[in-house]
Structure 1
Amino acid sequence: MKYQQNISACFSSVIGKKGLNREIFEKYLEKARNALESMKLDIDAGNLPAFDLSKNDTNLYQSKEVASEFYKECDLVFVLGTGGASLGGQALSSLSSDNGSPQIQFLDNIDPFTIDKCLSQNRTKRIGLLVISKSGETLETLVQAITFVTNLESYNLKKTLIITEKGDTPLYRFALKRGISVLEHDPNIGGRYSAFSIVGLIPTLMAGVDAEAVCLGASEVLKNAIETDNVEEIPSVLGAAVSIALYREKAINISVLMPYSDKLNKFTLWYRQLWAESLGKRGLGITPVPALGSVDQHSQLQLYLDGPRDKMISIISPNYLGVGPDIDPTLSNQTGLEYLADCTVGDVISAEKKITTETIISQGIPVRTFEIDSVDESTVGALMMHYMLETVIAARLLDVNPFNQPAVEEGKNLVRTYLRGLK
């Protein structure tokens, strides 16, 4: 496995009254095992296609072909879309260390000043547009697509591609009207579960990230979950069981995800949508909170340590010991910072992560850790599959549908009605 999960600091034997009794946890673990068994049947029957994507060579090949076209023709590609149409690609593209062409810019909001800046400052570059909306009716994406195409087509708009379901939708009609190529979004895969589809892989490949390694990491986690008999050796089952047990038994209704890596910052935003939209149904749900170490030691940590005891904190810990620039020993000694002499920057963030984790545990707060050797493609692919599995298992423990979001549909309709009334 590309990561090691440790949930020992979620039990009363370690943290006291806010921790779980092992006997109670075993009951939830058995329910989680049953949930996984039903998931296996659904996967075998083809009812959960999102969990087959990481093994789909055709999907990867198609993504490589499209990404190659953008790579050859464009200096800058705007990825237009919001929510699940954008966050998976953002999380994976954050792994890029490629400084070549093209530059990738995700636009997942419709702030008029941001859009105006993008349109006015990039007219001399060879521009590409990748427009993504599963339904073809996402208002923000439609506004982006119409605005960018009409403003850039007379300049240097080299390539436009739309990913959407085929049908009588505004985005599909727009594509036909403008003669824009369309790739079909699988109607059976929701946006927040689409990171391993063309939705996530095309921008990932354009950013120079090894998408094949991403899929390999994901498929290894899925294989482990499907083929392993002992649930104690399946991290996603353990994670779902401990999360729901803490929620039900200890009123822990906030889940903080805190990686100590800038490259995982966007990953926490992807997780936030996945967990919130999948579980928040019928008055139930656990609120996800993204955090970043060490930054949020100086903002949120005070609340975690001295505020309400309603949080479970998951810390992702890369092995950064000995990594990064050396801290000059002479200057350290001259300025009273002798404890920094001969340290690397990685040594410092590793020390902060270690002590912060131990401090949170000492305050009786449930903590789970993920130890990873490196923040690379296969590791992030593995973590993504872990959380997809954990989310669906948790949803089955709560008896909610993890694949819909009915409460937000009414608001979308009201916005359209309001805009019509402005005419």
Structure 2
Amino acid sequence: MIDRRPALIIRPAGAADILTAVRFARQKGLLTSIRGGGHNIAGNAVCDGGLMVDLSAMRSVQVDPAARRATVEAGATLGDFDREAQVFGLATPVGINSTTGLAGLALGGGYGWLSRKYGLTVDNLLSASVITADGRLVKASPDENPDLFWAIRGGGGNFGIVSRFEFQLHPVGPQVYAGLIAYPLEQGQAVLKGFREFMASAPNELAAAALPRKAPPLPFLPAEVHGRNIVAMVFCYCGDPARAEAVTGPLGTFGKPYGSLTGPMPYTAWQQVTDPLNPPGARNYWKSHNLTFLSDRFIDTLIGFTERLPSALCEMPLLSLGGQIKGFPADSTAYPHRDATYVINVHGRWEEPGQDEQVIQWARDLWSATEPDATGGIYINFMTSDEASRVPSAAYGPAWKRLRQVKAQWDPDNFFRINHNIPPAG
């Protein structure tokens, strides 16, 4: 799917190496791409014939438990971050796949199981060290270069290379109450309508997702269920353990499940639970919508497309948002989608190149069929490489004009352009 060949790859050990790489690329006129954790669906980590700055060796995570802060290098994965913070019973909202790179996630906004309680990843970013297009190392924070700080919190890698992040941490775990409940697809309408009604008044400590897909070979599901179409309820509760069963119990009452596995478990283990569903080397094509409400029409459409999944690896996670994400002002960061109550990310995923056209068309058809129920916005980290025309209005909307102004100040030549690009104003 992504087959690009850089002429040079540099793997920095720290900010000084990144500065050297940027200055060298500028002097030689080299196209430059940035690799953090290597999880980007659009393949923006890699360029043809230029220089790839591979940050994967920079994975240090330093936690100050007294201040509840963490300093994280740009090559760290979510797993690296979670393991270090959880030693002290601390965490911050990040994504739901432990192999994801923290840098790319954060620069696009970042959300996961803790976001309804504590906001987006960028809402918990305190400062960042940024290597700029003209070869300087600067700090971005509310007090230093606040325009740059605003822009990198949702504006992606358009404004420089972040070498280090400082995050606010919160008490979480080390045990959370989480699990998965697998319902037959035949009960899908009742399940999704129950999910809709339940989440409308659910506490912020609970995040949940509906997951239509084929049942994977999970040990708590009967063998005859493996491979059948299901709608799973997947959830994580980070609140008072004494209330966990009462709060989450209704998620198991939307129908008659095939099976379930729920209960207390280490937060770090829960953060890895979806990793096997994202096998390395699989072919991927995503399409995504933000939604404010799950209409009956949307639910019917989603069930219909689940009935004709083109691959056993395809899935459509429908994640509940809201909560504290909406508790921050709409213009507080460059992430402009705080109105969304749900996000659906259509994961076209398969293994054989011969299925490319079939799976991609299925994903596009599902996206088109559900477009009437969507806000028109899209989370930048879910955008594929063929959606450049949607960047101004769908990805950034009201933030677009200001982002272009900040880009003109910090990268007027558009040196950092292997991304969902924001061209400088002018």
Higher strand share: 2
Fold match (TM-score > 0.5): no
TM-score with structure 2 length normalisation?
Answer: 0.27
TM-score with structure 1 length normalisation?
Answer: 0.27
Higher helix share: 1
